[in-house]
Amino acid sequence: MATRARARLTAYEPPKKPGSPPGGMLGAPVSFQFNPDTLTLSKGAQWIRHRARSARQVGVPEFTGSLPRQLTVELFLDATATHDTSVQKGVETLLGWCVPTARSIAAKAASAPRVKFSWGSFDSVSFFGYLEEVNATYSLFDSDGTPLRATCGIRLTEAGDPTPRQNPTSGSPDTRRTHRLVVGDSLEMLAHQEYGDATAWRVIAEANGIDDPQRLRPGTEVLIPSVDELGGPERGDR
């Protein structure tokens, strides 16, 4: 007969630098006294919905990125058999995993622990993330006020640590590139896609001598300035 797997949460030091794996384990894992009856795993994507010029047309959506996985689960803590402070300590541990670690603060790179939910061979829900939210509901207390039961609602968000950026002096000296316009393109969309800031569309407009950003001709190649050039042109309101 197979051994019953116990679900648990384990915290680790955040990576020392972008792209590195998490550091050492922080204390003992928090084990589930009772495995969860339900858990919710979600994932989404971000899209920009472009306006169509004709009332009979629908704008073509532009994929801008994948959203991290999120795991929502409840953790039940009970100390009615021992009448000790384990419930209070368990909740305090979870709350402590929501704030930057002392080591990361000392390194001037404040970051919360990387937390991993694991449950036997259930790989889909096993990923490194950060505790975005912890809601603890105490439901039973000892005569001296010590909490004996608590239900903790946890939301764990996948942490995709960015990879180190290329040294601008080590690659091609010209980091500009071109983009061929298609139906539905807009300067705002290109600015959001390239720089993560739709209000930077004036940088592209000035680099291409575009006076009217509403009159873009499909098939035209436009120059996309590098990120380093964002500080040059003035960026005002649209």
Identify the bridge partners of residue 134 per DSSP, sorted by sequence position: 154
How far is 208 from 57, CA to CA, in rounded Å? 28
pLDDT score for 232: 46
From first CA to last CA, the distance across the chain in angstroms is 67
Per-residue pLDDT at 55: 62
The model carries a pTM of 0.64
- Residue whose pair of structure tokens reads 């259930």 in the numeric block: 122
> Do residues 155 and 205 lie in contact, with contact meaning Cβ atoms separated by under 8 Å?
no
To the nearest 5 percent, what fractions of the chain are helix, strand and coil? 20, 30, 55
Domains and CATH numbers, the chain: 8-158 (no CATH), 177-229 (3.10.350.10)
**What would the pLDDT profile of 104-154 be if each residue is shown by its tens digit?**
999 888 899 999 999 988 988 999 999 999 999 999 999 999 999 999 999
* Low-confidence stretches of the chain (pLDDT beneath 70): 1-3, 18, 52-55, 160-176, 228-238
* Contact partners, residue 212, CB within 8 Å, separation at least 6: none
The pLDDT value given to residue 167: 43
Q: Are strands 61-66 and 45-49 parallel, antiparallel or unpaired?
A: antiparallel
